[in-house]
Structure 1
Amino acid sequence: MKSAYQYISQFLLWGAVLASSCALHKEENQKIVWENPIREGINPYGMKDFFIYPEGESYYMVGTEYPDPFQATEGLQLYKADQFNTWKVAKLLIEKAKIPANAWYKDEWKAPEIHKIRGKYYLSFNGRNNTINPYKKHGFGLAVADKIDGLYQVLTSDAPLLECNNATLVEAADGSVYILYDMDGRIYSVELDIENAKLKAEPKELLGPSTLAKNYKYLDAPQVTKKGDTYHLLCSQFYGGYVVKVNHMTSKHPLGPWKWEADNPLYTFLEAEADLEVKMPYPTTHGYAPPTQVIFSNQLFRGKNDNYFIAYHSSEKYSEPYLCIEPVLMSGNQITIIQAKERKQKVALR
């Protein structure tokens, strides 16, 4: 017969085992795990220029979508996910069928973004009508809604605010709003009256040979994220051959001056790393014709539990581009990528 001491000892032992098991289970549940590139629920024919907006317990996402060669494009889609590895289409933000045939933004809505400014959600995009102006530069469009999933009213239906590529919106500490965009290898800025969708001045060069000096290379796809009182700008730069570097600058104001950070480059992308396998069927054997150069649009964003991430798209040199997300550590003005370009990614919830 067991003594009272033995019963107590056995009870304490099982209690310790149970506590250890619960602690381990809790530790496992406090990690988010995913694998890049992410394709689940995303346009299988390819998507790039990702912009992720966290709200509540969900992530919302827009981007440049490659057309399905077997069916007509419906419009600009909003994606939603609770975790990074599985997405779904939540809403059509712009319905192509409702856009007039002669509208300047009838066919394309590239590099879209969503920003919450002064209590409203502003959807920006780089649009074009491929029937009327098939080779014209893209124009900057703006729409507004009371909720992230719309209904969005296009404020620039008559004409684009300006011709540009990869435009982004940035709000300053005093409430003023700026458009930053690239054009012909340089980055420009202009102040925006966002509620009336009007420019308040003429665009001016923000970053180029005169400001970056020896650090200047062809600039593309600016993205700005504010953390505390510091603005972090990421942009792609093209070097000799197929070499793309993603560099990082900081400033206390959207108009600069912008400081070239010591952590540069954050990424270097090479042709040898490009995926060689085309994933989807096309009408002809060589139906997928990727561009000869690749812009790696990179967004720094704040996720759940105050974790920070960079979102970018996988190489489109030989194959369809898909979503990649990587956690980063931010210390002062420095960004450290924990597992750069690794397929398996994870982050601990703090």
Structure 2
Amino acid sequence: MPVKGFLYKSAFFVLLFLIFNTTLKAQVVTDDERPAFADSPNKSVKNGNIHAFSFRNPIIQDTTIAMRDHFIIRVGNKWYCTGSSLPVWTGPNPGVRLLVSDDLVHWKQQSWLIDASKLSPECPYNGRFWAPEIHLIKGKFWLTVNSGKVTTQDPKGMANHNIWLFSADNVTGPYKLVNGPLTPQYNNDATLFEDSDGQVYLYCSGNGLFQAKIDLEKGEIIGELQKFRTARESINPRWMWGGIEGPFVLKREGIYYMFFSTWTRGYEVGLLKSKSPMGPWDLASNEPIFGTRKKAYRGEVARVAGGFEDSKDPYAETGHNAIFEGPDGKLWSSCHYIFYKGQKFPGLNEMEEPKPQLGIEPLYFRNGLFAIDGPTWTEQTIKY
């Protein structure tokens, strides 16, 4: 082979290797990035040994611990998961469930962080418990719970549904109420973000996306809660028009990235970015970075998105994601996965099959954007 041809061929294979290697690398957790992790044994794998982690979505198949809006936090060699317990759409639910796993694949119930059966009838947050999250900040575990009081006149508890803040010294609790409600109107899907300077921010949804600084110890908003994005703004693509929710914030190399979900076409995850934790927030991608689309599932809601093709995965929903540290010491995404069996949304009886179950995928960073491949439903193996 001529020298020039050999060099071209060698350069081509080197390029392929670099592309392939970049594609397979999930995000390494660095000290500057949030969320923070507790005593992780795996922040970087430098011992030269090759490990393999295999999984198949949905991770959980046990309908007795089915939830939506899964949130995972790693503490040492264990993973803990919470989420919206069923039933979600009607009346009260049993409380805030905590699951535990030694390997991120096999899960069991650890406890109820909030057991609704033990709450007073007068408790103002004894209704539904939506999208709880646990964040490790300043050496304590902070639990955000979105709930209100379900009454005969208000069976969905929407009139006073709001954010409640709890704290504990251990991830398993016991959690004590710090304060609530944290905002003066309906809000949901609260998340916390600690910046490098120690300032903590609260983000949430409620007919749009909101943000504010927060004093965790007092459980009080600093200044005013700002509404900074609604679904049907003219600058938004039509796949956002049905509604936006479920914010989650990460920082990478001085840029803030906000994951959010939209239920317009199914359940899809979008990405915003900003140079400041208080915005302005711009779309990092004009297309969703993850999710599933099914025209028949969303029905009339999907019409506002215009024409689109169904995604080829077997799911009706893969959304409301959060970020956690995986077995390789890198960043992963979690959310609920629901198989699509021709059902309409919401189902007439949400306690029937198919129920939402936990799904996970590695998180990547490509060309200045976070990316989540999938959703997957066959066995996946990650080597590290």
When the two structures are superposed, what TM-score results if normalisation uses the length of structure 1? 0.75
Relative contact order higher in (CA < 8 Å, ≥ 6 apart): 2
Deviation for aligned residue 1:227: 3.9
Counterpart-to-counterpart distance in 2, 1:32 and 1:118? 31
Counting matched residue pairs gives: 298
Counterpart-to-counterpart distance in 1, 2:382 and 2:129? 32
Q: Deviations over 1:296-339 (max 9, x none)?
A: 20113232333221111113746211111111322463223344
Instruction: Identify unmatched segments of 5+ residues in structure 1.
Output: 1-26, 275-292
The equivalent residue for 1:146 is: 169
Candidates 139, 142, 145, aligned match of 1:122: 142
Counterpart amino acid of 2:287? N
Q: Deviations over 1:255-297 (max 9, x none)?
A: 12323224832124222697xxxxxxxxxxxxxxxxxx96820
Please say if residues 327 and 346 of structure 1, whose CA atoms lie closer than 8 Å, have aligned partners that are also in contact. no
Please say if residues 172 and 253 of structure 1, whose CA atoms lie closer than 8 Å, have aligned partners that are also in contact. no
Candidates 279, 282, 294, aligned match of 1:271: 294
Candidates 229, 238, 241, aligned match of 1:207: 229
Matched, 1:340 2:360: no
What SS is found at the alignment partner of 1:223?
A: strand
Counterpart amino acid of 1:98? K
Please say if residues 308 and 330 of structure 1, whose CA atoms lie closer than 8 Å, have aligned partners that are also in contact. no
Matched, 1:34 2:59: no
The equivalent residue for 1:11 is: none
Please say if residues 127 and 157 of structure 2, whose CA atoms lie closer than 8 Å, have aligned partners that are also in contact. no
Q: Using the TM superposition, name which of 225-234 and 44-53 deviates more.
A: 225-234
Q: How does 1:132-171 map to 2 (within 5 A)?
A: 133-137=154-158, 138-156=161-179, 159=181, 161-162=183-184, 163-171=186-194
Candidates 79, 82, 85, aligned match of 1:62: 82
Please say if residues 131 and 190 of structure 2, whose CA atoms lie closer than 8 Å, have aligned partners that are also in contact. yes
The equivalent residue for 1:290 is: none
Please say if residues 339 and 345 of structure 1, whose CA atoms lie closer than 8 Å, have aligned partners that are also in contact. no
Please say if residues 76 and 109 of structure 1, whose CA atoms lie closer than 8 Å, have aligned partners that are also in contact. yes
The equivalent residue for 2:355 is: 320
Counterpart-to-counterpart distance in 1, 2:171 and 2:228? 30
- Shift of the 210–78 alpha-carbon distance from structure 1 to 2, 3 Å rule, reads closer
Deviation for aligned residue 1:203: 1.4
What SS is found at the alignment partner of 1:213?
A: coil
Deviation for aligned residue 1:213: 1.2
Counterpart amino acid of 1:315? I
- Shift of the 344–94 alpha-carbon distance from structure 1 to 2, 3 Å rule, reads same
Q: Deviations over 1:40-72 (max 9, x none)?
A: 5x553631111110111111111001149xxx9
- Shift of the 99–227 alpha-carbon distance from structure 1 to 2, 3 Å rule, reads farther
Q: How does 1:168-317 map to 2 (within 5 A)?
A: 168-184=191-207, 186-208=208-230, 213-215=235-237, 217=241, 218-239=243-264, 242-262=265-285, 264-271=287-294, 296-315=319-338, 317=345
Candidates 98, 107, 112, aligned match of 1:78: 98
Counterpart amino acid of 2:293? L
Instruction: Identify unmatched segments of 5+ residues in structure 2.
Output: 1-47, 298-315, 340-344, 348-353
What SS is found at the alignment partner of 1:36?
A: coil
Q: Deviations over 1:114-153 (max 9, x none)?
A: 0111111100010122236434422101101111111110
Please say if residues 248 and 266 of structure 1, whose CA atoms lie closer than 8 Å, have aligned partners that are also in contact. yes
Counterpart-to-counterpart distance in 2, 1:190 and 1:338? 31
Q: Deviations over 1:12-33 (max 9, x none)?
A: xxxxxxxxxxxxxxx9971111
The equivalent residue for 1:44 is: 64
Counterpart-to-counterpart distance in 2, 1:73 and 1:237? 24
The equivalent residue for 2:108 is: 88
Counterpart amino acid of 1:201? G
Please say if residues 85 and 93 of structure 2, whose CA atoms lie closer than 8 Å, have aligned partners that are also in contact. no
Counterpart-to-counterpart distance in 2, 1:106 and 1:268? 32
Deviation for aligned residue 1:252: 3.6
Counterpart amino acid of 1:195? E
The equivalent residue for 2:309 is: none
What SS is found at the alignment partner of 1:44?
A: helix
What SS is found at the alignment partner of 2:320?
A: coil
